[in-house]
Amino acid sequence: MPATASPIMDVQTVFFGVLSVFGGVVIYRHAYGFTKFSEQIDAIGSKTPADEVEPAEWNVMLTKLAGLFFVGLGLFFGGSALLGG
């Protein structure tokens, strides 16, 4: 007999997928701001003022890729739960 997933698990998986997609879109959209904030935190204790730091382009791109990863992860989990996987 094949094992069936409980309806509660499917709701949780879809909810995780929706949150992951939403979070990934927010990260992608505001990657520069998140990365700049991280650089400002890193500047604490240095002689460079926090308002003068700028994130490197590779760091912003890495943050955008992380956002796209979470979008893909959410689409995978949410889509597989909705399609009955």
Residue 7 has pLDDT above 80, yes or no: no
pLDDT value for 51: 86
pLDDT value for 9: 66
Residues 6+ apart with CB under 8 A from 12: none
Cβ pair 80, 14 in contact under 8 A: no
pLDDT tens per residue across span 10-63:
888 889 999 999 999 999 999 999 999 999 999 988 888 888 999 999 999 999
pLDDT value for 4: 62
Cβ pair 76, 60 in contact under 8 A: no
Confidence band (pLDDT; 50, 70, 90) for 6?
A: low
